[in-house]
Structure 1
Amino acid sequence: MSVVWAATSPESGRFHSVERRSEVQDLADRFNDLRSRGQGYVEIGSPDRDFPVLTIAFRDDHAVVHLMSDTGWMSLLAGDGTVPSGVEVEVPVMDDLAAFTGDFVVDVDRAWNLVHDFMRTPAADPVGEWREV
């Protein structure tokens, strides 16, 4: 199965915005490489359509997941209780750190599982509670 993605470069630590089309395993390898370095940002889409696009921004065990649609709306995945509601966590979004409250922070393994589900059926919204921003 092919997927289109762009991600943080493990070498530079900077977001490399040029999209790649590859097999899912290549994306998984990049994610695992970034995970071993402690943080990263990945945008994932389908080779057959421009939207939806799913992003995962993570640092250590915390992740924030965005979903962008072709109608111009963007949603954040609701937090899973990994971080209390009033506590902020910083994750890399492209090349900058962005702060999100626990309302939008999930465990990085849960986020990666959601990415896998999304790659199997990119036409459908990933399972989870989404909050429009």
Structure 2
Amino acid sequence: MGKNYMPEVAKMLGVEIGEEFDILYKDGTATEIGPFKFTNETILDCDGDELQCWRLCCLLTGEYTLQKRPWRPKEGGWFYHIYGNGGGVTAKFFNFNNVYDLALLNMGNCFPTKEAAKAAVLEMLEKFEEIKKGVRE
């Protein structure tokens, strides 16, 4: 049996195994059956079906492009967010019905790593100040 190149192909295209992405046509619109994700053996569409080989060929030849989906915390998973004073904190994302979690997600205050949260402190503090302006008027 030959070597399986799927992990290398995923890395070459800029995604990790299991990371969701969309496939874009030449005009920049997304295909109708995304998101997709690589496994160690294949590429799956949103229904868990294997991707048709011609789509992979179009990705490899540059006819289609791949666009990563923004990171989102998973229900029950851990993430980092920034407090109003600029301090970072880790928290558990309970679910998509929790108003507090949804508010953090909506304002872009959910980060996969401590480093990503630290890098966003200034941006988040600016957002907080904009929100405060509306409250103080």
TM-score (norm 2): 0.26
Higher strand share: 1
TM-score (norm 1): 0.27
If you compute each CA radius of gyration, which structure gives the higher value, 1 or 2? 2
The answer to which structure, 1 or 2, has the higher relative contact order (CA under 8 A, 6+ apart) is 1
